[in-house]
Structure formats: structure tokens, C-alpha cells
Amino acid sequence: MADSDFDLFVIGGGSGGVRAPRMAGQRGVRVGIAEAGALGGTCVNVGCIPKKLYSYAAEFRTAFEESQGFGWRTAGTPRLDWALLKRNRAAEITRLNGVYAELLTNAGVRLLRGKATLEDAHTVVVNGERLRAERVLIATGGWPTVPDVVGRDLVITSNEIFDLDPFPARLLVVGGGYIACEFASIFNGLGSRVTQIYRGAQILRGFDDDVRHFLHDEMEKAGLEIHLDADVHSVVRITEGLRVTLVGGETLDVDQVLYGTGRAPNVAGLGLERVGVEVNACGAIVVGDRFETSVPSIYALGDVIDRIQLTPVAIAEAMAVVDQLFGTGEREMAYDAIPTAVFTHPNIGAVGLTEAEARAKFTSLRIYRSDFRPLKHTLRGSSERTLMKLVVDDASDRVVGLHMVGPDAGEIVQGFAVALKAGATKTIFDSTVGIHPTAAEEFVTMRQPVAAASPQ
């Protein structure tokens, strides 16, 4: 387009939204980006980063207790300074916002602070300024959703949880997905009395069944109260906080109610209908293999397209889009064997297929499973245990699923994800020498398959 202001204009400054213009700008492409909020999107501001920082904070309470078994003596009881934790977290997030802005500037990207709307297939309007672009990339991510319950205006989501004032002595977490489970674990560790309710039969739908049941037990051992097959009917304000009435009539009095029941694509006000960009029944933008929408000049990636809602996935998609539009076109996005972690206490790490998924795909499986108390927990007498599991396709001997519940599970599983991506067999696992004494060595020392059935 001879009359265009940009070769590429990106709407949304989250993880994928920042990576795409950076990479394109470094190739000499004329790039602009619009972001109305803080750079970094959900992950940096109200997601992965602050959540992991709070997860670290929550782990210290157990660490203080366990240190006594290793000979440490402390004077008095450690106390959480909630205000200090919030200030330190906010300072780190502000620093990261600045890093993102600097990365864009150094790549020659024009950053516009404001909400962008589509006027037509090549025109974006930001703060009243009409900008023409040969191609537009939408990377606006997702947004927390709250069902239409009585008193929904009194509850909070993961967007507000980090800056609560005062600290909630009693917290109700609604939901059974990874966001709900993470915050339930975090605030339990920080000192809240946490109740978690989920309308399903078991938390963490989509994860391996052994992992789901094992983590449930470990969370309850840590002091969480989990109610399954339960849901909220109404929330009302009372003198001492909030009164939550469950479907069935039971009531709970708490200080805060956190809804972690899901996220929806953040597409409101973009003008998708005006320009003819197709969305599915969930509101997610429909894209093809090369992330093209129903409008040839408009592309989309990340949580807004509703494939796999993980920060590294959005970043990888951004790299693929830039290579396809301005590079060799050889880079593709593969969605198999994507590792993931859940920062509950204890952590979850997983890569590949669950046992149920593998049973639907392969004729015969071998299942290896180990459940043990880590060495770190022995001197203090902690009852926390670790679970490790391998799912193996019997015909090819390939390890097609690897699952862990335990300390640093994400750090451990990241390395094994490379092995699964490379097609490692159980024979290769068996021939690998373990590092002793570590929990990770269990993955290369499990020799005897267990009974095939998983708990239901």
C-alpha cells in the first residue's frame, strides 16, 4: 500500500503483542502498536509474574516451619507484611513495563497509548488519529468473566486480587481451574482461611486424573477447604464482610470472594463486526493456519483466538506470524507437547497427553507412577508428598505423557519437555543416569508399570 503509515499495526501490548512488532521492527518493517493499559498485558501486570511472586511469598511460611527440623531457631513467629509485599511487587511490575517500552523503542516501533478500533480492513483509529496499515495484527488477549449471580458486583477477579486492602482473613475462591487453584493455594500459604468451591466433580478439568486427585488431597492437607459439586447462589454484604449462599442453602461468611471461573476473548469495542472479522460462539477470533482472519489483511494471535492460553504460546505464535509475513515463511506453530505448570502448593508440571487422552489415541499403554515423600520434608516430619507419572505408548515405546505434582515441578518438567518433543522412548529414559539425590531422578528410575486404571 503506497499510502500506508505502517507495514504492520498491532492492537494490544501483551506478550504476543509486544513480541511481534519487536521482531518485525528489527527486520526494518514499519510498525506501530496501540495499548491502552500497561505494557506486558495480563502476564506481566495481573497474571504470571505477580502471581509467581506471590507464590514465592506464600512458600516462605512452610519454609520457616521446615527450617526448624534442620536446626534453625527463630525468635517469635514470622509475620507477613502485606503492604510491603504489594509495594515491592508493584515496583517490579513498573520496572518490567519500562523494559517492554524500551524494547519497542529500540526496535523502531511507534507506540501509541490508547484504545484502537478498526475502521476498515486497513484503517485503525487511536485517540482520534486515523492510521493506515498494510496489515493489522490483533493481540488483545482475554479478560476475566463472572457469571450472572446475585451480588456479582461485590466479588473480585484475578485483576483485583493483588492489591486487596486489607488482607483477607477469610477468602472464598470460586472455580476449579488453574487460576482458582493457584490463588487458593497462594492465599492459604499467606495466611488466609481459604475455602474453594467448584461446581464440577473434581478440580483441574483437563489435567491427568491422577494429578487432579493427588493435588486435591495435598491442598486439603495444607489447610484448604474444598467443596466439589457446589456453586454460588448469591452474595450479600453484611456487617463483617460478605455472606455467600450456595445452591442448596449453605452459607459462608467471608471477607472477599474471588471468582476464577474463566476468561473470555477481549474483543469488545474493536470494531470486528464493522469490518467483517469472524468470531466463534465464544467470541474468539477465528483464524487459519497462518493466523489470518476472515479479512485477508487482518491477523490475530494469543488468547483472543482461543487456542492454548499460555504466554509462551502467544510469543511463539507472534514469531511465526512475523516470519510468515516478513521472513522466509518457514516458521510454523506446533501445538503438540506444549509443557505447562500450575503454581499451586505443591506445583504441577505436565507435558504431553493425559492417560485418558492417550487411551483414546493408542491401542495399548504402559503407565508408570511413583508417589513418595521428598527428602526435604523428612527432618521436619511434613506429610507433603510428590507424584510422578509417565504415560508410554506400548507399540512404539515412546513416552507420550509426563506429569508431576511436587516442589519445582515446572522447572523439572521443562527439561523433560525437550525429551518428549524429540520423541524419547522409555528405553532412553531408562538408560539415562539420574542425578542423586533429587526428585527429578524418579522419572528415569521408574521400571515397573502400575495397574492401568486411573481413579475416576
pLDDT of 76 reads 83
Low-confidence ranges of the chain (pLDDT < 50): 453-456
Q: Is 76 helix (H, G, I), strand (E, B) or coil?
A: coil
pLDDT of 456 reads 38
DSSP 438-450: -SGGGGGT--S--
DSSP state of 311: H
**What are φ and ψ of residue 355, in 5° steps?**
-60, -40
pLDDT of 453 reads 46
pLDDT of 386 reads 98
pLDDT of 77 reads 86
233 is catalytic: no
Q: Catalytic pick from 122, 216, 403, 436? A: 436
pLDDT of 1 reads 66
Assign residue 170 a region: left if phi > 0, alpha if psi is -120 to 50, beta otherwise?
A: beta
DSSP 79-110: ---HHHHHHHHHHHHHHHHHHHHHHHHHTTPE
pTM of the complete model beyond 0.85: yes
pLDDT of 455 reads 41
DSSP state of 378: T
Structural domains of the chain, ranges and CATH numbers in brackets:
6-143+264-326 (3.50.50.60), 152-261 (3.50.50.60), 340-444 (3.30.390.30)
pLDDT of 451 reads 63
Q: Is 188 helix (H, G, I), strand (E, B) or coil?
A: helix
pLDDT of 8 reads 98
